[in-house]
A = this chain, B = another copy of it.
């Protein structure tokens, strides 16, 4: 009947309703920014435990220092300082399969192995199945190990701790850890779950569609990118990064023409 319809929000001259709630009296001052993000994702207000877990998940993804995303944002701000929103947009555009997408990969994998959390599952058997199936396909196991953080990603034990405190350390958190243990047994070296592995598992524990994982990353990084723009405004480095990079990238020409 309604081919163009949104249920998210609508207004009358004297009211604004968002997800069925009166914005001024039921949302403003009642929901924190993180809880508002939960409302956008699930159409409902989180419980206290959901709020604590979800806020920690978002906060984990806000800031990673100077990343490809923040460099793209700073380069864009250098050329168009009057359009800060476009600089954030540029930084978000790269949150694809390579970086933030790994949370997605982990969640998908866990949901495929264990579609229903309540089922009385043999977690070690599921973990062995995941590892051997990926090995057969010649694929690496997502969410395990870290190129830089050793012996363990320092965010992992803290996220598990908060999951335990809030009741979200369930079968998916157990499964990603069992997958890590299975890889360790086979490789004979330490390969603990990393932050994206745990975050993927926590998305499953919260019952989120795997598509939501990337959305959480995008929300969180938008916050961090604004922080980088403000630092760039205080202490500009983009021009120097550009000039040094350009000089290095064309040094072979100068060397050749000097020969």
Contact = CB atoms under 8 A, between A and B. Distances in A.
A167 to B, nearest CB: 14
A215 B84 contact: yes
Interface string A53-68: 0011011101111111
Interface stretch (A32-40, A109-117, A128-136, A177-185): A32-40
B68 A149 contact: no
A59 B27 contact: yes
A5 B65 CA distance: 11
A109 B220 CA distance: 31
B66 A94 contact: no
Q: How large is the interface on A (under 10, 10 to 19, 20 to 34, 35 or more residues)?
A: 35 or more
Interface in A1-43: 2-18, 23-25, 27-29, 31-34, 36-37, 39-41
A146 B222 CA distance: 29
Q: Quick one: copies of this chain in the complex?
A: 4
A87 B148 CA distance: 26
A36 to B, nearest CB: 5
Contact of A95 (B37, B64, B80, B228): B80
Contact of A237 (B6, B78, B85, B224): B6
Interface of A: 2-18, 23-25, 27-29, 31-34, 36-37, 39-41, 52, 55-56, 58-60, 62-69, 71-73, 75-100, 148-152, 154-155, 157-159, 161-162, 165, 209, 211-212, 214-220, 222-224, 226-231, 233, 235, 237-242, 244-246, 248-254, 257
19 contacts: A4-B244, A6-B65, A6-B249, A10-B250, A15-B154, A23-B63, A23-B155, A28-B56, A32-B33, A33-B34, A66-B250, A67-B242, A82-B83, A86-B96, A87-B93, A89-B92, A90-B93, A90-B94, A215-B226
